[in-house]
Amino acid sequence: MQIGMVGLGKMGGNMAERLRRGGHEVVGYDRDPGVSDVASLKDLVERLEAPRAVWVMVPAGDPTHATIRELGNLLSAGDIVIDGGNSHYVDDQRHGAELGGRGIGFVDCGVSGGVWGLQNGYALMVGGEKGDIERLMPIFETLKPEQDGFVHAGAVGAGHFAKMVHNGIEYGMMQAFAEGWELLEASDVVTDVPGAFKSWRNGTVIRSWLLDLLVRALDEDPALAELRGYAQDSGEGRWTVQAAVDHAVPLPVITAALYARFASRQDDSPAMKVVAALRNQFGGHAVSAKEGQVGKGADAPGADVEPPAEATG
């Protein structure tokens, strides 16, 4: 099958390569001319035979909006656009409606597999019309693993909604492994922390690919000394928590994992400053002052303020 691929970065480039190895003809476009087959989106569309299929693999948000808008002006009725990035499902619904008004199909595809997908295949969660999905099945069959790894999750938006929840679960699992590692490191009871994680890889209920990757990381750097404890979030965790609020579904683990990532980016926690100040005020507990300043103890100025009669702590 012939397909256009827009965005040939770490994910898009590997996906294009897996499709080529599977016998498909891929015409790729990227802003980097060194990896691009054509000079523009217009050239890409002209290289494809109608009815066309174009897979968009660019960052979510404005880059995706702009790319789909331009494709909408270049493609014809009967063509299909697939958004395989990490878009918000509400954006998919808008894109589907806009392209549908021109007779152009739209499929949203949540993709999981990272840099290992070229070798192992990609898990695909797709949303869209049944006819569009069936037409694209040769592409999906080549990209996915040999067993499982594919679901037609529902109408437009369902694919990225499923991927959003997947990533929220991933947040929680990663946080659990992280907290377990920190506790083992803090204790002097377990002397081989990397070995403990390695022992869990087979025969335990927490064996998983994430555990395998953590063991791999600990083999390379047993104390993780070369890393900084700073974790970004790409948006899906926030959207998962927001969707939980919209549907009144409690997600305490995923929400806490998202907040832990926020905390990782703070050099000095503003919230903990308030906690420290309040402990000093009501109990005279010592505080750690910034360099060059004097911290307050129980005998410091301000520590003798009388609490109201009902205050305790």
Q: Which residues are catalytic?
A: 163
The neighbour count for residue 15, using CB atoms within 10 Å, is 28
Exposure on the CB side of residue 185, measured as CA atoms within 13 A? 12
- Single-letter amino acid code for the residue at 291: E
Q: Give me the sheet containing 25-29, strands edge to edge.
A: 25-29, 2-6, 53-56, 80-83, 105-112, 123-127, 150-154
Q: Which residues lie closer than 8 Å to 164 by C-beta, 6 or more apart? A: 88, 89, 110, 236, 239, 240, 243
Are 95 and 68 contacting, i.e. CB atoms less than 8 angstroms apart? yes
Are 15 and 143 contacting, i.e. CB atoms less than 8 angstroms apart? yes
Return the exposure string of 228-258: e unless at least 16 CB atoms fall within 10 Å of the residue's CB, then b: eeebeeebbbbbbbebbeeeeeebeebbebb
Backbone angles phi, psi at 151, to 5 degrees: -150, 135
Angle at CA 130, nearest 5°, toward 128 and 132?
70
